[in-house]
Chain A
Amino acid sequence: MTELRFGQAINKALADAMAADESVILFGEDVAEPGGPFGVTRGLRKRFGELRVRDTPISEGVISGAAVGAALSGLRPVLEIMFMDFTTLAMDALVNQAAKAHFMFGGQASVPMVLRTPHGGGLSAGPQHSQCLEAWFAHVPGLKVACPSNPADAYGLLRAAIEDPNPVIFVENKALYALKGEVADDAGAEPLGSARTARVGRDVTVVSYGATVATALQAAEALSGDGIEAEVIDLRTVQPWDRDAVLASLARTHRLAIAHEAVEAFGVGAEIAAAMADIGFYELDGPIVRVGAPFAPVPFAKTVEAAYIPGPDDIVRAVRRSME
């Protein structure tokens, strides 16, 4: 076991994947010489050389399309888009090209690319540098979406994403980069689509992913003081998401809350709630409740942003409502 920060675990996953497979290459804005805006790719240029680790111009459209073309021609590109907000400029490549090539070419080819991108608020980065847009990508058939909550999962899921023959959007919450955690020295790929039980509990299931898992755990501790034991499920992968794990937990607790940092409306929580209202209907003893950001852009000022991002109290309130 080695203690690594979340960003270091990602760096290690990239390095190990590049060492294991020559066709893995890395490019993005300021990822090579500068080592990435958050330092995540530091040292990789030096270790793997300028052919495989490249700084790109600020051209999200063409670098994303180039990742598709490279993936169709024998490489496994890992592309970084500096902020998830900037994926708006890459949408054609991701939605119309990467996601559809395997399908629309009749299975002839697949697009084994990974797009790493940070989401999330908390840095007063304002409306265009803070959004959590993962639901957009989860809505597009052909894309996979991972969003780890801790260093070990960041490592394992990124290894799996790079090995996956399909395009994977790998979402990293900026607030987690400094988070420390143990990563096994012989860690390998952690399959996409499999949830993890972050906390065992009998009274209510709280489903979450990414940085909100920690918020859900704080809420669970608060609830525990009142005798309510929450089971916290860390989805780890938003697309595909682990229905079996959520349903199995619901079958034990009979109550369900879903929490994420993204805007609540039309979000990942809505999909999970709808699916469980259907296949888990007879397990439910209360309403399914969602916790997400209000239907507003991420605000700048610290106090306003803090009020905007769902916190433990919001989850506690939601859980209580599910138990009324």
Chain B
Amino acid sequence: MARTTRRKKDDERLALYRSMLLIRRAEERLRVLFADGEVPGFIHLSIGQEAVAAGVASALGPDDTLASTHRGHGHALARGMALEGFFLELMGRQGGICGGRGGSMHVADTSIGMLGANGIVGAGLAIAVGSALAHQVKGRDAIAVAFFGDGAMAEGALHESLNLAALWKLPLLLVCENNGWSEFSPTERQFAAKLSDVAAAFGVPSRTVDGRDVEAVAEAAAKLRREIVGGGGPRVLECTVHRFGGHFEGDPQRYRDPAQLAELDRHDPLALAAAKLAKAGVAETELTALAAEVEEQIERAVGRARAAPPPPADDIAGLVYRAVP
């Protein structure tokens, strides 16, 4: 290592970089596994958007909760979902975090306050509202985070959630990952308003940050969290990002301009963070070692999942209800 003493800031930067790298490498691995038929169903990758998950997660406290979206792998991993349970679930193997009942669109880990990815656009908003209500009623020093995409802006759920959260001054952070695409359609053709205007209409302060910049996201999220736990009520954080892939994995994206697709690399949050780390004097060898460590962890999880049997199919109805104590 080039230096013997390093600044706290560098450690924080490195932790954010690692969090993004874990999401990126895990999703790249999923992409291959999906192409090879080892991951069934639909998966929606967040490649290009990792800075939002990593930045917001870095600002959260231990009792905070979050509700996610169909593009939720990053939120789960950044919050600390164990890789093995994650890959076992997505590969449909016994021991998956959801017992093979949920898959990619429903990964959840309530032990870390991760209340689920969600197959319904906008549904996580109301769940986060309710979680924030629970924090308020129980007097917890905690907030709830609702991740949503710009595609959810046209859902009534957003407008109802903003209204209720504002009325009840709920400890809620609404995080929009605005990638400009509502599934296969550009959001400018889907939504007539601006999120900041909508938030303002409900008296909810909002901030818009460059969602490629993990430090900007982390700082904004930390600041908004402080305002929220201070009793300020809900806040909106809009992060402008680029969706590198299709709506779902396998989407040929014929609706996108090839020229625009070709220049996505310029918006890579990982490359931007790596450049900043280099500028701060963090040695490239350190990043290489970090990458090797992350990849090894992922391979171990994939290896474990490949070796695991499928979940037993003899008790399908067993998890429908929780037994009454």
Q: Is B205 an interface residue (CB 8 A)?
A: no
- CB-CB under 8 A from B127, the residues of chain A are 65-66, 68-69, 72, 97
* Chain B nearest CB, measured from A150 CB (Å): 23
- CB-CB under 8 A from A105, the residues of chain B are 98, 101-102, 106, 108, 110, 116
Question: Do residues A67 and B157 form an inter-chain contact, with CB atoms below 8 A?
Answer: no
Question: Do residues A96 and B110 form an inter-chain contact, with CB atoms below 8 A?
Answer: no
* Most chain B beta carbons < 10 A, residue from A64, A70, A191, A192: A70
* Chain A nearest CB, measured from B130 CB (Å): 3
- CB-CB under 8 A from B125, the residues of chain A are 62, 65
A59 to B157, CA, bound (A): 9
Mark contacts of A187-212 with chain B using CB atoms, 8 A cut-off: 1 yes-contact digit, 0 otherwise: 00001100000000000000000000
Q: A65-B129, A69-B126 are in contact. Are A106 and B319 (CB under 8 A)?
A: yes
Among listed B20-28, B131-139, B189-197, B233-241, interface-contacting one = B131-139
* Most chain B beta carbons < 10 A, residue from A67, A73, A97, A102: A73
A64 to B125, CA, bound (A): 11
Question: Do residues B130 and A67 form an inter-chain contact, with CB atoms below 8 A?
Answer: yes
Q: A72-B131, A93-B123, A165-B325 are in contact. Are A102 and B167 (CB under 8 A)?
A: no
Select one of B123, B135, B320 contacting A97, CB under 8 A.
B123
Nearest residue (CB) in B for A111 is B322
Q: Is A228 an interface residue (CB 8 A)?
A: no
- CB-CB under 8 A from B119, the residues of chain A are 96
B residues 199-234 near A (Cβ < 8 Å) are: none
Question: Do residues A70 and B130 form an inter-chain contact, with CB atoms below 8 A?
Answer: yes
Nearest residue (CB) in B for A89 is B156
A160 to B242, CA, bound (A): 49
A59 to B161, CA, bound (A): 9
Question: Do residues B321 and A66 form an inter-chain contact, with CB atoms below 8 A?
Answer: no
Nearest residue (CB) in A for B115 is A72
Question: Do residues B126 and A106 form an inter-chain contact, with CB atoms below 8 A?
Answer: no
Q: A57-B164, A62-B164, A104-B102 are in contact. Are A109 and B110 (CB under 8 A)?
A: yes
Q: How large is the interface on A (under 10, 10 to 19, 20 to 34, 35 or more residues)?
A: 35 or more
Select one of B96, B108, B111, B135 contacting A73, CB under 8 A.
B135
Q: Is B163 an interface residue (CB 8 A)?
A: yes
Question: Do residues A59 and B115 form an inter-chain contact, with CB atoms below 8 A?
Answer: no
Nearest residue (CB) in A for B162 is A62
Question: Do residues B320 and A96 form an inter-chain contact, with CB atoms below 8 A?
Answer: no
Question: Do residues B322 and A75 form an inter-chain contact, with CB atoms below 8 A?
Answer: no
Nearest residue (CB) in A for B161 is A62
Q: Is B39 an interface residue (CB 8 A)?
A: no
Q: Is B120 an interface residue (CB 8 A)?
A: yes
Question: Do residues A69 and B108 form an inter-chain contact, with CB atoms below 8 A?
Answer: no
- CB-CB under 8 A from B111, the residues of chain A are 108
Question: Do residues B317 and A65 form an inter-chain contact, with CB atoms below 8 A?
Answer: no
Mark contacts of A75-105 with chain B using CB atoms, 8 A cut-off: 1 yes-contact digit, 0 otherwise: 1010000000000000011001100011111
- CB-CB under 8 A from A57, the residues of chain B are 160, 163-164, 167
Q: Is A54 an interface residue (CB 8 A)?
A: yes
Question: Do residues A59 and B163 form an inter-chain contact, with CB atoms below 8 A?
Answer: yes
Question: Do residues A106 and B67 form an inter-chain contact, with CB atoms below 8 A?
Answer: no
- CB-CB under 8 A from A96, the residues of chain B are 119-120, 123
Question: Do residues B98 and A106 form an inter-chain contact, with CB atoms below 8 A?
Answer: yes
B residues 137-169 near A (Cβ < 8 Å) are: 137-138, 144, 156-157, 160-161, 163-164, 167-168
* Chain B nearest CB, measured from A38 CB (Å): 23
Select one of B115, B120, B130, B131 contacting A92, CB under 8 A.
B120
Q: Is A25 an interface residue (CB 8 A)?
A: yes
* Chain A nearest CB, measured from B134 CB (Å): 4
A142 to B322, CA, bound (A): 9
Q: Is B51 an interface residue (CB 8 A)?
A: no
* Most chain B beta carbons < 10 A, residue from A52, A72, A74: A72
Question: Do residues B120 and A141 form an inter-chain contact, with CB atoms below 8 A?
Answer: no
Question: What residues of chain B have their CB less than 8 Å away from a CB belonging to chain A?
Answer: 65, 67, 89, 96-102, 106, 108-111, 115-116, 118-120, 123, 125-138, 144, 156-157, 160-161, 163-164, 167-168, 317, 319-325
11 further contact pairs, Cβ within 8 A, besides A54-B168, A66-B126, A102-B320: A23-B138, A68-B126, A68-B130, A69-B128, A69-B132, A69-B133, A69-B144, A73-B130, A102-B322, A106-B319, A165-B325
Closest 7 CB pairs of A and B: A65-B126, A69-B130, A106-B99, A66-B130, A73-B134, A62-B160, A69-B127
8 contacts between A and B (CB under 8 A): A59-B163, A65-B125, A65-B130, A73-B131, A73-B133, A104-B98, A106-B102, A163-B324
